[in-house]
A and B are shown apart, each in its own frame.
Chain A
Amino acid sequence: MNKTININLGGYAMVIDEDAYDVANRYLMTLTRHFVANEGAEEIMQDIETRMGELINRKRGTRTIVNKLDVVEAIAVLGTPEELKDIDFSDDIPQKKRSTQPSFQLKTGKRLYRDKDDKIIGGVCSGLSAYFGIQDAVWIRIVFVILTLVFGSSLIVYLVLWMIVPPAKTVSDRLEMMGEPTNVNNIAKMIKEEIEQVSDKIQDKFGKKSKHHKKHPAEDNSEQIHTSGWAWNPKSGARGETKPPYNKKDFV
Chain B
Amino acid sequence: MKAQMRKGVLDMCILSLLSSEEMYTSDIIDKLKNSQLVVVEGTLYPLLTRLKNAGLLEYYWQESNYGPPRKYFRITADGQSFLKDLKESWEEINQAVSLTTQNTQVHE
Contact = CB atoms under 8 A, between A and B. Distances in A.
Nearest to A92: B50
Interface in A9-50: 10-12, 31, 35, 38-40, 43-44, 47-48, 50
8 contacts: A12-B67, A39-B49, A39-B53, A47-B45, A51-B26, A77-B41, A83-B39, A83-B40
Contacts of B39: 79, 83, 228-229
B44 to A, nearest CB: 9
B43 A40 contact: no
Contacts of A38: 46, 49-50
A89 B41 contact: no
Interface in A67-103: 77-80, 83-84, 86-90, 92
B48 interface: yes
Nearest to A58: B66
Contact of A89 (B40, B43, B52, B69): B43
Given A51-B25, A51-B26, A83-B40, A90 B68 contact: no
A117 interface: no
Interface in B1-42: 3, 6-7, 25-26, 29, 39-42
Given A40-B53, A78-B42, A79-B41, A89 B47 contact: yes
Contact of A51 (B41, B49, B53): B41
Interface size class of B (residues with CB under 8 A): 20 to 34
Counting chain A residues whose Cβ lies within 8 A of the other chain, the interface size class is 20 to 34
B60 to A, nearest CB: 14
B71 interface: yes
Interface string A137-171: 00000000000000000000000000000000000
Which of B6, B26, B40, B68 has the most A CB atoms < 10 Å from its CB? Answer: B40
A172 B61 CA distance: 37
Given A44-B45, A48-B45, A84 B53 contact: no
A84 B44 CA distance: 9
